[in-house]
Amino acid sequence: MFKLLTPDMFNLAKALWATGLLASCNLGAQFSSVRAQQLEPPPLPLLSPMGLPMLQAQVMCPQLQRGVQQAVGAEAAVWSISVADPSGRLLADINGDRPRIPASNQKLLSTAIALDRLGPDHRLNTELWQLPDGTFRLSGSGDPSLGFLQLKRFAKLASGSGGSSNSGSGLVRLQLEEEPVSRWWPQGWSLADRNYDYGAPITRLALTSNAVDMSVQNPPARMERLLSQEIGRNGRTAMISSIPAGSTKPADSILLLSESSKSMHHLLSLANSESHNFTAEVLLREGTGSWNLPITQRRTLEWLQQQGLPIQGVAIQDGSGLDRGNRVTSRLLTALLLRMAQHPYAKNYLASMAVSGQKGTLASYFRGTELEGRFSGKTGTISGVKAISGVLSTADGPVYVSMISNGSAAPVAVMGRVLKLGMGAGHCRQLVF
């Protein structure tokens, strides 16, 4: 049975969280002259769970349970639904422990980890270095907001017309640090999806998020071509090559320019409110401290487990939910929402969500109904899958809801009925307190 925290206990836990959870993970790398070999990062530190991530298994509100069962009707077998109150009491639940394909509800995990591990002030940097022999090196961390203005500034500096010591005519040698092509796409992304903007490759130097109407299939080649053109406009000739990301810089290398991404709030909102796949993938990699996806997958499960969240049957394949190999439960997502509601950065997390009838991917949902503006959450949609998870604001306080359908004929209608039932969940408080 969950026991409520006293104010002193909460403040102590909050302080421990702030000092222990926000340290980012440093990932070292060693490379031979033939092949780069990335060192596996150390395991995540053990963290003391705060609050109540684990939900009670017993449904505590029979009236709401009956209403939810009626809402799904004969489709109960294809639904997983969990509804909880702020104390972690499970008010209603249908197949809540059955793993299902979550689609973009997967982004709730990626953004939670990134916010927890990196903090709300973190930005993704793209840097231009000058090595002792005069060679330039461009390195990045997947900034989805990297654009042509930043590229022009890098080219200008490398050309010597922006204050670098490489002034004059002649050849500009420039190295691009990048991931190998084998890591550009999660394995489960279909070949068809990889052609569209939402399936763009995940690289460290990602001009316009590696999409121009459609996916950019070879981002380093595009970056090389555009940089060569810009350097040429500055009167120089470029010789550009790619090297493994994380390659050691020689001593006495000089940082000439660091271009920062937009704020973490913007990045979180891109991932959650706008459901931007590329951003979610980068946030998960940065949050776990590794761009090696198998390591990222393992560390994601470790983080979930260390928060005390229910992970039985959960499978992590990517950070965005485009991979149909992902499996989560509605209880996991509800427990995660509860967990993040107690986080020191709870407001940042909630503010990144779409809002029913008003904002993001929920802007067209439930507009003009009692639910407009009352539900903040994340949608998820791929073929045969519809999911929605978030926080419902009621007169009696927040209610945490996760709904995943893998095969419903009219999922949005069911979701609306369940959320309306949740609006009247105040009667449950008399039953469970």
Contact 69, 59 (CB under 8 A): no
**Considering the chain, what is the average pLDDT of its residues?**
88
User: What average pLDDT does the segment 189-202 reach?
Assistant: 98
Q: How many Cβ atoms are within 10 Å of 33's Cβ, its own excluded?
A: 5
- Of 116 and 18, more confident: 116
The C-alpha atoms of residue 266 and residue 38 are separated, in whole angstroms, by 30
pLDDT of 7? 41
Beta-carbon contacts of 25 under 8 Å, excluding residues fewer than 6 positions away, are 41, 42, 44, 117, 288, 289, 290
Tokens of 416: 């609306």
Contact 362, 375 (CB under 8 A): yes
Give me the phi and psi of 328, to 5 degrees please. Answer: -135, 170
Asked whether residue 11 carries a pLDDT value surpassing 50, the answer given is no
- Of 335 and 163, more confident: 335
Contact 366, 416 (CB under 8 A): yes
Task: Calculate helix-pair angle for 107-118, 330-341, nearest 10 degrees.
Answer: 30
Res. 14 pLDDT band, cuts 50 70 90? very low
pLDDT of 430? 61
Above pLDDT 70, what percent of the chain?
A: 85
The C-alpha atoms of residue 183 and residue 298 are separated, in whole angstroms, by 16
Beta-carbon contacts of 74 under 8 Å, excluding residues fewer than 6 positions away, are none
Asked whether residue 288 carries a pLDDT value surpassing 50, the answer given is yes
pLDDT of 37? 36
Residue 390 sits at the vertex; the CA angle it makes with 384 and 392, to the nearest 5 degrees, is 125
Asked whether residue 6 carries a pLDDT value surpassing 50, the answer given is no
Asked whether residue 257 carries a pLDDT value surpassing 60, the answer given is yes
pLDDT of 55? 79
The C-alpha atoms of residue 298 and residue 411 are separated, in whole angstroms, by 32
The C-alpha atoms of residue 175 and residue 139 are separated, in whole angstroms, by 9
- Over residues 57-81, the pLDDT tens digits come to 789 999 999 999 999 999 999 999 9
Contact 264, 119 (CB under 8 A): yes
